[in-house]
């Protein structure tokens, strides 16, 4: 850009921008469902001013600035009055310790399992489609850094009392490098049954750059609460129930230029847009609330968002105001130009919120900086006073009689020092009262109150119990358990609220956006290429994933006991289902037990994630061996049946032969008996009295 040329700037806002919206403008919205350019600009600027003013008036109660200072606890040197001698200046980190002690507990409670949610199919949806949807959402949560963003948001909530998140959808093109062979590998089939084929490659590789279009949901935590201007009339700690939400951004040329391809945005040409960053350049208005509490002597935070941090003109910021309500979405550049004015594509305010210590009748909540900040100040004051008192005891001040023993220079004490005085008692140590013994007890009581209010006591935090000032309740196992349960109840309640107000609603929003905005090609790529999910490999219809009707739940916080009960009852359930009486009764009803589902339940209960690596489909060789074994088993079984039949026939034949021999012998005996009984006496010479016959004597 050459000097001396009057470069164009944005036109000034209309003079009536602070006037009320006219009936004609409201009637236009009633008929068309959208605001004109002038009333849209009025709406954004007036709502932003009112919300920002209401937010600033609550700063004394919310104490965001003081909370930031207490968290960093900057070193502030103290001096003895009238001297350059340093006094005790010990910094305490009571607030920071509580925040960084509770955050891991909350994260551990939420991410007890991976993915951190459960899914239950509703009527009309198969269990396979529900599990495929669970895998898809888990992949998208990882893709948008859900865990990292949630952790930062939890820290904000604990410190300041409120945390806000924004979700949405983005589409962009990116380049990805892949490596492939210059010439395809030659495959030589194996001549040995069951052995793998031989692949011969030249070993020459080449790199290829491919372009891919990415459609994905987004999720981010709001770094600075002052970045969001909330409806001042919102009376509950749920931002979705407000009339509107305004987000103040500071966007660079590159950020604005990316919006050009999105439908509905009306941006100046690229050359004119670039001119705004050169003299006479457009200067962004600073957010005055974000300047509070900044001190260059100890400030550890980044530069304010409106301050250029590079000489690159494409990275200089301009102010952008985004106003969301359930019907419209309006974007204003530099409080002068409306660059987007259309319907809200989501149909709802795309923000979520959570509070730590809710205030009845208000949106904003109190954080640990407000609730235990006074304890940190108390502990700092008592500790420094104790150290000052110890310093005075180690370096005792001297008292001399006025007008006597006047030294010509300052008296310095050292071993073996001789000081001459006129009379005894002219120079002697200052008599002081000893430090109050209650000081250590007061410190312990202060820490106990901080632990009670925050819930970050030594038991729930995994630390060691303190000494003075702490209750002896922790000395017994029952007392320790009661103390831990009482202190962690607040954390469990916070985890439940976080699940109900942030995580579960976010899952439903992701599902709705997938149904409306996720291309089928992108869905197929995720399920087939990225996840290698069995639902896609088996050839099921992927549209059933998008149309699945499910219920999401989070087994965290107070619901963790349900999860433990499920894991503990799984062995008994497995034994019950393995009972032959149960399987027989199910078979009578035409049902069976799905063993794969039982195995999956065991893997989930034990938190093993390699189910698909342990149970895999059979290879063609495995199937062939199974068939051979099955055929051999059938032949063996047939041979056993044949042998059994032959043995039975032989046994039957033996039995019949034995019976026939017995009958034959009986017939022979009877025949001989009949013969003897009928022979004439004259032939035998005497009567037959020994044989068995009719009429014979016994």
pLDDT of 373 over the 50 cut: yes
What is the band of 409 on the pLDDT scale with cuts at 50, 70, 90? Answer: low
- Which residues on neighbouring strands pair with residue 79, listed in sequence order? 86
Mean predicted confidence (pLDDT) in 347-367 = 95
Mean predicted confidence (pLDDT) in 76-88 = 88
> Which is more confidently placed, 3 or 11?
11
Contact yes or no for 107/130 (Cβ under 8 A): no
Rounded to 10°, the helix 438-454/373-394 angle is 160
HSE, CB side, 13 Å, CA atoms: give it for residue 360.
0
- pLDDT for the residue 514: 96
559-577 exposure pattern, b = at least 16 Cβ within 10 A, e = fewer:
beeeeeeeeeebeeeeeee
Number of domains in the chain: 1
Residue 667 lies in a domain: yes
- Which residues on neighbouring strands pair with residue 354, listed in sequence order? 163
- CA distance linking residue 331 with residue 323, whole number of Å: 6
The structure tokens listed for 465 are 């119990």
Residue 653 lies in a domain: yes
- pLDDT for the residue 438: 83
Residue 382 lies in a domain: no
- Range among 136-140, 392-396, 676-680, 684-688 with highest mean pLDDT value: 136-140
- 514-518: long-range contacts, CB 8 A cutoff, minimum separation 24: 514/136, 514/140, 514/217, 514/546, 515/546, 515/547, 517/169, 517/215, 518/215, 518/546
3-state helix, strand, coil in the chain (%, to 5): 50, 15, 35
- Which residues on neighbouring strands pair with residue 399, listed in sequence order? 428
- Find where tokens 């630390």 sit: 463
- pLDDT for the residue 482: 43
> Which is more confidently placed, 339 or 565?
339
The structure tokens listed for 646 are 């032959």
- CA distance linking residue 260 with residue 273, whole number of Å: 11
Residue 384 lies in a domain: no
- Which residues on neighbouring strands pair with residue 329, listed in sequence order? 324, 342
pLDDT of 116 over the 70 cut: yes
What is the band of 24 on the pLDDT scale with cuts at 50, 70, 90? Answer: very high
End-to-end Cα separation, the chain, in angstroms: 152
- pLDDT 10s digits, 250-267: 999 999 999 988 889 999
Residue 22 lies in a domain: no
The structure tokens listed for 636 are 């063996």
- pLDDT for the residue 353: 97
- CA distance linking residue 422 with residue 400, whole number of Å: 11
Residue 432 lies in a domain: no
DSSP string, 570-610: HHHHHHHHT-HHHHHHHHHTT----HHHHHHHHHHHTT---
- Beta strands in 53-137, from DSSP E residues, in sequence order: 118-121
pLDDT of 638 over the 90 cut: no
- Range among 35-49, 575-589, 596-610 with highest mean pLDDT value: 35-49
- CA distance linking residue 413 with residue 396, whole number of Å: 10
Rounded to 10°, the helix 64-72/94-110 angle is 100
What is the band of 177 on the pLDDT scale with cuts at 50, 70, 90? Answer: confident
- Find where tokens 């019949």 sit: 656
- pLDDT for the residue 471: 41
- pLDDT for the residue 5: 45
- pLDDT for the residue 473: 37
Q: Tell which phi-psi region holds residue 214, choosing left (phi > 0), alpha (psi between -120 and 50) or beta.
A: beta
Contact yes or no for 329/259 (Cβ under 8 A): no
Mean predicted confidence (pLDDT) in 629-650 = 71
- CA distance linking residue 35 with residue 40, whole number of Å: 5
- pLDDT for the residue 200: 81
pLDDT of 383 over the 80 cut: yes
Longest dimension (CA), the chain: 185
Query: Of 569-578, 626-635, 675-684, which range is least confident?
Result: 675-684
Contact yes or no for 220/166 (Cβ under 8 A): yes
The structure tokens listed for 685 are 């010479």
330-352 exposure pattern, b = at least 16 Cβ within 10 A, e = fewer:
bbbbbbbbbbbbbeeebeebbbb
pLDDT of 118 over the 50 cut: yes
> Which is more confidently placed, 48 or 483?
48
CA distances (Å), origin 45, targets 14, 254, 281, 376, 479: 12, 25, 21, 40, 57
| Mean residue pLDDT across the chain | 83
What is the band of 631 on the pLDDT scale with cuts at 50, 70, 90? Answer: low
Query: Of 2-11, 399-408, 531-540, 662-671, which range is least confident?
Result: 2-11
- pLDDT for the residue 460: 54
> Which is more confidently placed, 468 or 543?
543
pLDDT of 508 over the 80 cut: yes
652 is in which domain, residue-wise? 620-684
CA neighbor of 448 nearest in space, from 542, 531, 375: 375
Mean predicted confidence (pLDDT) in 306-314 = 93
CA neighbor of 71 nearest in space, from 159, 164, 161, 162: 159
Contact yes or no for 149/219 (Cβ under 8 A): yes
CA distances (Å), origin 428, targets 419, 425, 434: 11, 6, 17
Mean predicted confidence (pLDDT) in 3-31 = 79
Contact yes or no for 331/262 (Cβ under 8 A): no
Query: Of 305-319, 352-366, 436-450, which range is least confident?
Result: 436-450
Annotate 141-208 with three-state secondary structure.
HHHCCHHHHHHHHHHHHHHHCEEEEEEEEEEEEEEEEEEEECCCCEEECCCCCCCCCEEECCCCEEEE
pLDDT > 90 fraction of the chain, expressed in percent and rounded: 43
DSSP 8-state assignment for residue 518:
-
pLDDT > 70 fraction of the chain, expressed in percent and rounded: 85
Contact yes or no for 117/553 (Cβ under 8 A): yes
pTM: 0.77
- pLDDT 10s digits, 198-223: 888 777 888 888 888 899 999 999 99
């Amino acid at each position: 850009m050459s000097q001396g040329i009057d470069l164009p700037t944005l036109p000034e806002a209309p003079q009536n921008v602070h006037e009320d919206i006219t009936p004609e403008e409201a009637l236009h919205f009633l008929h068309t469902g959208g605001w004109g350019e002038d009333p849209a600009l009025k709406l954004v600027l007036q709502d932003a001013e009112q919300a920002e003013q209401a937010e600033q008036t609550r700063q004394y109660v919310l104490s965001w600035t003081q909370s930031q200072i207490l968290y960093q606890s900057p070193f502030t040197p103290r001096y003895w009055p009238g001297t350059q001698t340093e006094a005790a200046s010990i910094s305490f980190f009571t607030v920071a310790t509580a925040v960084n002690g509770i955050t891991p507990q909350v994260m551990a409670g939420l991410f007890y399992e991976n993915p951190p949610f459960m899914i239950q199919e509703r009527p009309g949806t198969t269990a396979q489609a529900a599990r495929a949807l669970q895998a898809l959402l888990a992949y998208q949560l990882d893709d948008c850094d859900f865990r990292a963003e949630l952790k930062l948001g939890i820290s904000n909530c604990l410190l300041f009392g409120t945390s806000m998140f924004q979700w949405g959808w983005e589409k962009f093109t990116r380049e990805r490098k892949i490596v492939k062979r210059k010439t395809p590998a030659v495959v030589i089939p194996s001549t040995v049954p069951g052995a793998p084929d031989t692949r011969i490659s030249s070993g020459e590789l080449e790199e290829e750059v491919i372009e891919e279009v990415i459609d994905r949901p987004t999720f981010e935590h709001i770094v600075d609460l002052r970045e969001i201007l909330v409806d001042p009339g919102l009376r509950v700690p749920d931002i979705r129930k407000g009339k509107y939400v305004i987000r103040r951004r500071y966007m660079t040329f590159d950020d604005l230029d990316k919006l050009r391809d999105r439908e509905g945005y009306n941006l100046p040409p690229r050359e004119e847009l670039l001119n705004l960053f050169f003299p006479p350049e457009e200067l962004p208005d600073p957010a005055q609330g974000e300047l509070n509490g900044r001190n260059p002597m100890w400030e550890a935070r980044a530069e304010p968002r409106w301050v250029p941090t590079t000489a690159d003109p494409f990275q200089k910021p301009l102010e952008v105001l985004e106003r969301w309500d359930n019907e419209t979405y309006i974007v204003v550049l530099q409080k002068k130009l409306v660059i987007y004015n259309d319907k809200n594509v989501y149909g709802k305010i795309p923000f979520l919120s959570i509070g730590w210590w809710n205030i009845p009748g208000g949106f904003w909540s109190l954080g640990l900086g407000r609730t235990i900040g006074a304890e940190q100040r108390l502990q700092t004051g008592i500790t420094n006073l104790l150290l000052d008192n110890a310093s005075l005891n180690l370096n005792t001040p001297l008292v001399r009689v006025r007008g006597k023993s006047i030294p010509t220079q300052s008296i310095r004490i050292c071993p073996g020092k001789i000081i001459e005085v006129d009379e005894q008692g002219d120079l002697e140590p200052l008599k002081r009262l000893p430090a109050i013994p209650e000081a250590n007890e007061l410190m312990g009581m202060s820490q106990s109150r901080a632990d009670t209010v925050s819930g970050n006591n030594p038991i729930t935090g995994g630390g060691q119990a303190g000494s003075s000032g702490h209750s002896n309740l922790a000395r017994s196992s029952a007392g320790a358990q009661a103390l831990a349960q009482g202190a962690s109840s607040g954390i469990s309640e916070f985890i439940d609220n976080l699940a109900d107000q942030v995580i579960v609603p976010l899952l439903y929003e992701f599902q709705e956006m997938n149904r409306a905005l996720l291309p089928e090609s992108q869905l197929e790529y995720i399920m087939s290429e990225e996840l290698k999910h069995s639902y896609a490999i088996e050839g099921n219809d992927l549209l059933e994933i998008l149309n699945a009707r499910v219920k999401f739940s989070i087994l965290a916080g107070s619901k963790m006991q349900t999860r433990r009960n499920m894991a503990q009852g799984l062995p008994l359930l497995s034994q019950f289902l393995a009972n032959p009486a149960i399987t027989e009764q199910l078979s009578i009803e035409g049902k069976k037990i799905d063993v794969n589902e039982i195995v999956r339940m065991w893997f989930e209960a034990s938190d093993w994630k390699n189910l698909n690596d342990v149970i895999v489909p059979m290879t063609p060789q495995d199937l062939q061996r199974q068939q051979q074994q099955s055929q051999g088993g059938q032949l063996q079984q047939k041979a056993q049946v044949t042998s059994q039949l032959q043995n039975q026939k032989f046994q039957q034949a033996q039995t019949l032969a034995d019976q026939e021999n017995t009958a034959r012998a009986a017939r022979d005996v009877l025949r001989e008996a009949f013969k003897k009984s009928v022979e004439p006496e004259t032939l035998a010479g005497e009567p037959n009295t020994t044989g068995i016959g009719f009429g014979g004597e016994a």
